[in-house]
Structure 1
Amino acid sequence: MTPTLRTDRLLLEPYVPADEDGFVAFFMDARVSRWMGDGPWPEADYRATFARIFDHAYASDGFDVWVVRQDGRLVGHAEIKPAKVVEGHELIYALAPEMWGRGLGTELARAVVAHGFGTLNLEQVHATVAEPNTASLTVLRRLGFRHLRDIAEDDGTITRVLSCDRSEQQART
């Protein structure tokens, strides 16, 4: 079961069905979906994705997925899940644009990485980031992630693959 995590300013908790409209609105914001895969998608696709969180992630304890809240309001999304592209567990996180530039991305990513190393007992946590997403690359470098390789996407863009080892993270704290 996905646990609730707390940081100084954020609450990460499992989604509940009442979060569906907020989830859809969050990911339909082009400023968010620009960095999250091939978005923005049609609304129906986001609703289907939200349903899969309950059917696949939560029902089978497949992986951890959180709604990110600040003062009770949905302000982000986070996951840590197995991913073939990195041959390990991948950190995924996003914040609403009005939350950018406040250090919350670092706070959020740090909490999920700590969960990966502590609760999940992972040796490595990976991330994939679009090359132009300098804010996310900065957050990950700040947390000790190092660049492993690049993936040339079909559309000509580059995705950076980064990794953080448990031993490196422990040395930083």
Structure 2
Amino acid sequence: MATPTLNTERLLLEPYSPADEDAFVELFQDTRVSRWMGDGTKSEAEDRAMFQRVFSKVYAQELFDVWAVRHDGRLIGHAEIKPTEEVSGHELVYALEPDAWGHGFGTEIARALIAYGHDVLGLTEVHATVAAENTASLVLLDRLGFRYVRDIAEDDGTTTRVLTRSAAADTADEAPEAAAGQPL
């Protein structure tokens, strides 16, 4: 199944196009964003290679869903939901450019990914992994019904929090819009 287009109140989540490469690289080269993503900031060449893998591997083999996040036609972020061994299930991931922080876009993205995971993929749980220092994302996810599961001690001495949200929370949680925007 190819990655579908998702719409929120203000955002369009759609598969990347080759023309998005420079904006993608710019997003991940911003250390304010990449410090929260995976192993942190990578070289420009590594980010370009990662963008190419979205097409040559992820989309081509339909491994998982990856979206360009647009507001008013401009790429402002990245989103995905993917299976990971670290959480023994599907993890949602998103990143927003710093100018998009504090406008509730993170909440819109997270809600769209939660709904997609539960309603389309049929997942009973969705997970998130967040640096313990990333309080904005931790607060946002708490407001959306994610619950703390455990900590992972990373090789560099930092701590990553594992959070889970069950499908049962969908009917019990009508969380208000959170003003957050830090990527997971």
TM-score range, shorter chain: over 0.9
**TM superposition shift of 1:47:** 0.8
Superposition map of 1:20-169 within 5 A: 20-169=21-170
Once residues 142 and 62 of structure 1 are traced to their aligned partners in structure 2, the CA distance between those partners, rounded to angstroms, is 29
Say which structure is richer in helix: 1
Q: Give the 3-state SS of the residue equivalent to 1:86 in structure 2.
A: coil
In structure 2, runs of 5+ residues without a counterpart are 175-184
CA–CA distance in 2 between the matches of 1:21 and 1:104? 21
Q: Which has the higher contact order (CA 8 A, sep 6+)?
A: 2
Cα RMSD, aligned residues only: 0.8
CA distance in 2, matches of 1:20, 1:64: 17
The normalised TM-score by structure 1 is 0.98
- Counterparts of 1:102 and 1:25, CA distance in 2: 20
Which amino acid is the alignment partner of residue 18 of structure 1? A
Residue 2 of structure 1 aligns with an amino acid whose one-letter code is T
* Whole-angstrom CA distance in 2 between matches of 1:40 and 1:172: 35
**What TM-score, normalized by structure 2, do the two folds share?**
0.92
Q: For 2:148 and 2:100, how far apart are their aligned partners in 1?
A: 26
Structure 1: segments with no counterpart, 5+ residues: none
Give the count of matched residue pairs.
Answer: 173
Q: Which moved more, 1:139-148 or 1:52-61?
A: 52-61
How far the C-alpha of 1:171 sits from its partner, in A, is 2.1
The runs of at least 4 aligned residues of structure 1 exceeding 2 Å deviation read: none
Look up the equivalent residue of 1:128 and give its one-letter code: T
The AA in structure 2 aligned to 1:7 is T
| Contact persistence 1:143–1:169 (CA under 8 A) | no
Q: 1:67, 1:76 within 8 Å by CA — same for their partners in 2? A: yes
